[in-house]
């Protein structure tokens, strides 16, 4: 080990050994009832907010493997102390995948315009054929599930850890490290390519007469930033543990804050690049997407996402004392998360429900609360099973 020294006993501790809060199960149960009532009373609103939440929480689920892959590909040795907690949402990925399949079967006609051929331009209908869309998106999700779970499984295998529902091969640590390096590169490549196409199908083509060449990049950057903002809560919690602070120090929290800041700026740059090109071109086929949002009651969501994802992080995360303060960073991360959710809501819910103004009633609140509680339960389940620090990877990063 170069900078981080901890014994095997210290590594095998668990910072998240507490039980899952029973309130989460109660909220999840109530939300299921609310979802059923919403489905029967107003299916359009139900599927609108359901799809919005699926797209949003997919970022947390997939980001768990992507971020691990990124620190491996970039040789980010600073991340060694958090290697074990990085994949906190990995078990959410197969659940979200199953929910996508259920949504497609039962709610596709409410969500996707390409279920109604008369609404699609003839030159796009081949690409937007429902069977073709489902096939390619299903393949993307299944490949990402296989690569992501396999990657995390090999990471656990280096220390002989076994966590339910994550395949952990019985191989030597040296073999596992080699597999980790090759799988990490595959995850990064397939993430960019796969979720570009997935973002087109599941978000951009909710308006089948509009497209943006930057939309795919905006989609997967939003996914990754969603994961990072959520991960900051775990980082802030770890900084309340004296054992962790003694081994790592506050400079570690600065790295996470800097990543959030950097990706917020990149997200904002992509937003500006898309908007300015469409505005300068002034072609009705492209401008209607922004006109419908800016010159209507929906302008509040449009400008709020800019304020939350760009203005607040820019004014706060430039300052190191703020980035390294575990009491302040969660509030900034909460603002970013809210802004990203509003962005997803603005993209998906707007096109599906087509309401004159944003609405967030009991159906929307119930479904969203259910996704939040499910994410908490699944993440806590993983974190309770893992070690505090890696052992073999710390020595052979």
pLDDT tens column, 285-304: 889 899 999 999 999 999 99
DSSP state of 356: S
User: Distance of CA 236 to CAs 86, 147, 229, Å?
Assistant: 13, 29, 11
> pLDDT value at position 393?
87
Contact 184, 87 (CB under 8 A): no
3-state SS of 273-293 is HHHHHHHHHCCHHHHHHHHHH
Residue with the bigger pLDDT between 265 and 240: it is 265
Return the CA Rg of the chain.
21
Contact 389, 11 (CB under 8 A): yes
The token duo for 62 is 């997939």
List CB contacts of 209: < 8 A, sequence separation 6 or more.
Answer: 121, 285
The token duo for 245 is 């602070």
**Of the candidates 122, 245, 164, 177, which has an alpha carbon nearest to the alpha carbon of residue 394?**
177
Q: Please give the Cα distance from 68 to 185 (Å, whole number).
A: 11
**How many other C-beta atoms are found inside a 10 Å radius of the C-beta of residue 93?**
25
**How many other C-beta atoms are found inside a 10 Å radius of the C-beta of residue 143?**
14
The model carries a pTM of: 0.95
Q: How confident is the model at residue 4 (pLDDT cuts 50, 70, 90)?
A: low
List, for residues 208-254, the tens digit of each pLDDT value.
888 898 999 999 999 999 999 999 999 889 888 888 887 776 677 78
The token duo for 164 is 């339910």
Instruction: Kindly report which listed range (100-109, 196-205, 206-215, 358-367) carries the lowest average pLDDT score.
Output: 206-215
Domains of the chain by residue range: 8-395
DSSP state of 328: T
List, for residues 364-394, the tens digit of each pLDDT value.
999 999 999 999 999 999 999 999 889 888 8
DSSP state of 345: I
> pLDDT value at position 364?
96
Q: How confident is the model at residue 1 (pLDDT cuts 50, 70, 90)?
A: very low
Residue with the bigger pLDDT between 115 and 107: it is 107
List CB contacts of 348: < 8 A, sequence separation 6 or more.
Answer: 48, 51, 52, 55, 203, 206
- Residue 384 sits at φ, ψ, to 5 deg, of -70, -20
How much is the average pLDDT of 142-163?
95
DSSP state of 309: I
Residue with the bigger pLDDT between 13 and 351: it is 351
3-state SS, residue 27: helix
Q: Please give the Cα distance from 362 to 257 (Å, whole number).
A: 34
Q: How confident is the model at residue 166 (pLDDT cuts 50, 70, 90)?
A: very high
């Amino acid at each position: 080990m170069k900078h981080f020294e901890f014994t095997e006993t210290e590594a095998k501790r668990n910072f998240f050994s507490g039980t899952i809060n029973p309130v989460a199960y109660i909220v999840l149960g109530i939300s299921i009832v609310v979802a059923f009532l919403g489905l029967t009373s107003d299916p359009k609103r139900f599927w609108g907010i359901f799809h919005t939440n699926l797209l949003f929480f997919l970022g947390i689920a997939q980001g768990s493997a992507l971020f691990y892959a990124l620190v491996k590909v970039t040789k980010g040795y600073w991340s060694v102390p958090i290697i074990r907690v990085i994949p906190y949402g990995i078990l959410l990925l197969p659940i979200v995948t199953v929910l996508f399949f259920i949504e497609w079967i039962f709610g596709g006609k409410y969500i996707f315009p390409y279920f109604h051929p008369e609404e699609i331009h003839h030159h796009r209908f081949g690409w937007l054929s429902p069977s073709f869309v489902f096939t390619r998106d299903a393949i993307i999700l299944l490949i990402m599930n296989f690569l992501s779970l396999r990657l995390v499984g090999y990471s656990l295998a280096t220390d002989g850890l076994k966590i339910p529902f994550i395949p952990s091969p019985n191989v030597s640590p040296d073999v596992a490290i080699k597999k980790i390096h090759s799988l990490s590169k595959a995850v990064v490549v397939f993430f960019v390519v796969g979720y570009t196409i997935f973002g087109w199908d599941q978000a951009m083509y909710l308006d089948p007469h509009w497209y943006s060449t930057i939309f795919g990049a905006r989609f997967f950057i939003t996914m990754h930033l969603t994961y990072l903002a959520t991960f900051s809560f775990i980082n802030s919690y770890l900084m309340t543990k004296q054992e962790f602070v003694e081994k790592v120090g506050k400079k570690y929290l600065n790295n996470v804050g800097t990543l959030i800041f950097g990706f917020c700026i990149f997200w904002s740059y992509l937003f500006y690049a898309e908007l300015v090109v469409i505005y300068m071109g002034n072609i009705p086929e492209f401008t209607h997407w922004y006109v419908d949002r800016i010159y209507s009651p929906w302008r509040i969501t449009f400008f709020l996402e800019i304020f939350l994802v760009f203005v607040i992080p820019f004014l706060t995360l430039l300052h190191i004392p703020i980035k390294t303060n575990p009491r302040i960073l969660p509030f900034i991360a909460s603002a970013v998360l809210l802004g990203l959710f509003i962005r997803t809501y603005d993209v998906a819910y707007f096109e599906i429900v087509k309401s004159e103004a944003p609405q967030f009633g009991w159906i929307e609140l119930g479904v969203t609360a259910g996704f939040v509680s499910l994410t908490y339960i699944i993440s806590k389940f993983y974190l309770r099973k893992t070690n505090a620090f890696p052992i073999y990877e710390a020595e052979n990063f």
